[in-house]
Amino acid sequence: MKDLLRSAATSVALITLVALGVRLGFAWDQERQISRDVLETVPFQNETGNIANSLALGKGFGSVFRQETGPTAWLTPVYPVLVGAIFRIFGIFSVASFFAIVFMNSFFSAAACVPIYFAGKRIAGIGVASAAAWLWALFPNAVVIPFEWVWDTSLSALLGATLLWATLEFAESRRWSDWCIYGLLWGLALMTNPALASLLPFLLGWAAYRAKSAGSLRIARPALAAGFAVLCCLPWTIRNYVVFHRIIPLRSNFAFELWLGNNDIFDEDARNGKQRITRYEEVRRYSKLGETAFMDEKWRIATDFMRSHPGLEMRLTGRRFVTMWLGTEHPVKDFLKTDSLLARVAFVTNWIAALGALGGIFVLWSRRSVFAFPATVFPVVFPLVYYVTHASLRYRHAIDPVVLLLTAITLEAILQALGGRKPALTSQIA
């Protein structure tokens, strides 16, 4: 019986099935409480839904605010194209399309158990691998987000976990085909969530350092992977240049995101400053100026604000840091104020995950693990852009599988300390 239970607990197939079941079960419970009129409209009232609508109508990749405003580079194409394809099959802004998207998101989210399991097995053994996969299977953020967001969030989590696994697996490979696959994976990731580009130089650089081949071949294979990643993005970059007459490698909306987190709303002493941001005003301004001029204006306003408010910027960065890891600027106050059990569970699990990630980094470096650097890059480097712009748990979700892997490493270290056992050999220097 013990062997059977151990086999079940360490079965990645079973963990993945449980993860999928939990996500679909949550979605089924939630949809029964929401009217059909809401499900076929509200989830799609965002940039992804608007662009997918334009694609489904045969009008191309554009109309980011669901008005005839022409082509856009606001988002990269992978996820809007997937949603547009679902619209073509199940109907535009229909309940059937929403259910299909929720299932797709849930599948992506559950599938992240696989790469995080094998990455964990490579780093610290099957115990940590299983624990990390189970943590991800039951993590409240990962259960809720596939239903709550028609966005690339769940797919980004799958790709983020897969990038870590692939980096560990291919770093010492001498097969050219492996490095080609690695480059294609990066291309898919960049065309899905450009924020993952922040990890590229660090993970690819570490893979090049670990490459077993000597001399020029040490660099040649990683260079090939980088070349394939660039080739995946090149058609989109050319399209953007042709349409907007400027180089937009992936997407154009960084200036807008920067402005959202850095404007006069945050300055209590501002005179005649903005009191709130309204969708109507931003759509009106975007329609009047066009995307290029709109982004130029937002960039100028945001950067001027940041230069003129250095002290406030420091405070805002600190607030965004707390929000990124704990879900809100005032975690204790909001925890005590909420009457939602789910919200309280989410608060607690995110606190644990944040501390667990920090602990996991400490454990890997203290054990001088060869995998400490690539695992550390995810929680240290990826969030930096959100500390500058604006933050939420949804933005962090792309690295959450790795965060939970680090948490599992922390838990293992605690259990080993309590039991007086030595750390697993797999986490030592090779």
Question: What pTM, to 2 d.p., does this model score?
Answer: 0.94
389 neighbors 133 (Cβ within 8 angstroms): no
Q: Cα(115)–Cα(135) distance, rounded to whole angstroms?
A: 14
Q: Cα(118)–Cα(128) distance, rounded to whole angstroms?
A: 10
- What's residue 220's pLDDT? 86
Q: Read off the DSSP letter of residue 71.
A: B
- What's residue 423's pLDDT? 60
260 neighbors 254 (Cβ within 8 angstroms): no
Q: Mapping DSSP to helix (H, G, I), strand (E, B) and coil, where does residue 46 land?
A: coil
288 neighbors 297 (Cβ within 8 angstroms): no
Locus of tokens 């929401």: 34
Q: How many of the other CB atoms lie within 10 Å of CB of 47?
A: 17
Q: Cα(32)–Cα(300) distance, rounded to whole angstroms?
A: 46
Helix axes 153-170, 95-111, angle to 10 degrees: 20
User: Which residues have CB under 8 Å from 381's CB, separation 6+?
Assistant: 198, 199, 202
Q: Cα(311)–Cα(307) distance, rounded to whole angstroms?
A: 10
Q: Cα(140)–Cα(128) distance, rounded to whole angstroms?
A: 20
Q: Mapping DSSP to helix (H, G, I), strand (E, B) and coil, where does residue 391 land?
A: coil
374 neighbors 206 (Cβ within 8 angstroms): yes
372 neighbors 364 (Cβ within 8 angstroms): yes
Q: Which residues of 14-34 are buried (b: 16+ CB within 10 A; e: fewer)?
A: bbbebbbebbbebbeeebeee
- What's residue 253's pLDDT? 96
φ and ψ at residue 410, rounded to 5 degrees: -65, -45
Q: How many of the other CB atoms lie within 10 Å of CB of 95?
A: 17
Q: How many of the other CB atoms lie within 10 Å of CB of 160?
A: 27
10-residue averages of pLDDT along the chain (430 residues): 81 97 97 92 94 96 92 97 98 96 98 98 96 98 96 98 96 89 98 97 92 63 94 97 96 96 86 72 94 97 96 96 95 92 94 97 96 97 97 96 98 89 52
- What's residue 425's pLDDT? 45
- What's residue 185's pLDDT? 98
